[in-house]
Structure 1
Amino acid sequence: MRYAQGGGLTAEQRAVREGLRMEAGERFIRGEKTAVIARELRVSERSVERWRRAWREGGIAALVSAGPAKLPKLADGQFSVLESELARGPAAHGWTDQRWTLARVQTVIARKFRITCSIAGVWRLLHRHGWSWQCPARRALERDEHAVQLWKKDVWPLVEAPRRRSGPSSSSRTRPVSR
C-alpha cells in the first residue's frame, strides 16, 4: 500500500485498522455478507474479501496487525546522533559549501553508522522524522526584477511550446487519412 504522505501507517492508524479487521472477523463468524461489512465499516469490498480469506485460513489471529511494513534502518537514538551531525554543518564533514544534499546525508550515514541507504531511503528517513527540503530564504542580490518581467513577457511565449488544442478534431485518430 502506498500513501500520499510518503510513509506507511502510524502505530495509531495501524491499531485503528486492526480494530476494523477484528470487527470484520466478528461479523464473519456471524455470517454477514461482504458488501454489508464493507459498507458499514466504510472500507472496500476487496479489503473485506482479503480479510475473509485470511480469516478462513488462520482464524481471528490472522487478522492481527503484522506491524510496520518495513522498519527504519536507523533507530531513534541513531537518528538523534545523525541530527547532531547534520547540525554541525557540511563543512565539519569536509564539504566546502553549506548545503545538505541527500547524497551528502547518505555519505554521513555510511561513515558514521556503517549502514548503506539508497538516496530514496535517506529521503524517507528524513521525511519520517519531520525534515523537509528547503528553498533559499532570499533572492539573489544580482536578480533584476525588471529584466525578469520583460523576459517572461517577450521571450517566454516564443520559447514555450504551443499547447495542443483539445476538442473533437484534436486527436490524430480522428483526422482523415491522406492517400
Structure 2
Amino acid sequence: MTRPQLVEARRVRTAELFGQGRPGAEIARMLGVRDESVRRCRRAWEEGSPDGSRRRPATGRPPKLDDAQVERVRAALEQGAHAHGFEADLWTLKRVGLVVERVTAVALSRASAWRLLTGRLGLSLQRPERRAVERNDAEIARWIAHEWPRIKRGR
C-alpha cells in the first residue's frame, strides 16, 4: 500500500470513529496522529463533505516525461555510454540530458536529469575507482612480499 493510500485509509478510519462518538484526543492516540489532523478530519466530516476523507489528486506541475518515455530512457541508458557515442563508458548528468533529448525530444536541466535518475529510475550515484591503467597487481604483491621486507631490514 502506498503512502497516499495509507493516509486515505487513516482518514476513512477517523470518520468511522467519529461516527461511533469517540473523542478526538482518543482517536489521535489510537491512530498515532496529531490532534490537529483529527480536528481537520472532523471539520470535513461535520460539514458532510463526501470527499473529505478521500485522497486528492497530486497537485503541481505534471512531469515532463510520461512513464513510456521514462522506460525508453531507461533502455537507452542501459545500453551504456559507448553505445551513444561517448568515449568513456561513464554517465554524467550532461550526458544523460543529451540522451534524454535524443530519445524523447525533451530537454532537461542537470537538476531534472538528477531527479529523473534518482527518483523515477531509482538509480544512485556511482563513482569509478581511481586507478592507473598501468597498475600491475602481481608486481605490487611481489614488491610487498620481497622488496619491502628487505628495505625494512636495512634500517
Same fold (TM over 0.5): yes
Of 6, 27, 37 in structure 2, the residue corresponding to residue 16 of structure 1 is: 6
Equivalent-residue separation in structure 2 for 1:12 and 1:69 (angstroms): 17
Give the 3-state SS of the residue equivalent to 1:64 in structure 2: coil
Cα offsets for 1:21-80 (capped at 9, x unmatched): 001112233443322111100112222233333434562422111244565433332222
Q: Mind listing any 5+ residue stretches in structure 1 that lack a counterpart?
A: 1-10, 144-179
- CA deviation after TM superposition for structure 1 residue 118, in Å: 3.8
Quote the offset at 1:82 in angstroms: 0.7
The SS at the match of 1:120 is helix
1:59 aligns with 2:42: no
The 8 Å contact of residues 25 and 60 in structure 1, kept in 2 or not, is answered as no
> Cα offset for 1:94?
4.0
Indicate if the aligned counterparts of 1:72 and 1:125 stay in contact, CA closer than 8 A: no
Q: Identity percentage over the alignment?
A: 39
Q: Which residue is equivalent to 1:28?
A: 18
Query: Does residue 106 of the first structure (1) align with residue 97 of the second (2)?
Result: yes
Match of 1:82 among 73, 76, 79: 73
- For normalisation by structure 1, the TM-score amounts to 0.59
| SS of equivalent to 1:20 | helix
1:133 correspondence with 2:150: no
The alpha-carbon distance between structure 1 residues 116 and 21, as it changes in their structure 2 partners (threshold 3 A), is farther
CA distance in 2, matches of 1:107, 1:58: 52
CA contact 1:89–1:98 (8 Å) conserved in 2: yes
Asked if the contact 2:8/2:55 (under 8 Å) is kept, the reply is yes
RMSD, aligned CA: 2.8
Is 2:30 the partner of 1:40? yes
Report the 3-state secondary structure (helix = DSSP H, G, I; strand = E; otherwise coil) of the residue aligned with 1:59.
coil
Compare CA radii of gyration and give the structure with the larger one: 2
Q: Using the alignment, how far apart are the partners of 2:47 and 2:116 within structure 1?
A: 35
Give CA-to-partner distance per residue, 1:142-162, whole Å, 9 cap, x none. Answer: 89xxxxxxxxxxxxxxxxxxx
Measured after TM superposition, the shift of residue 114 of structure 1 is: 2.5
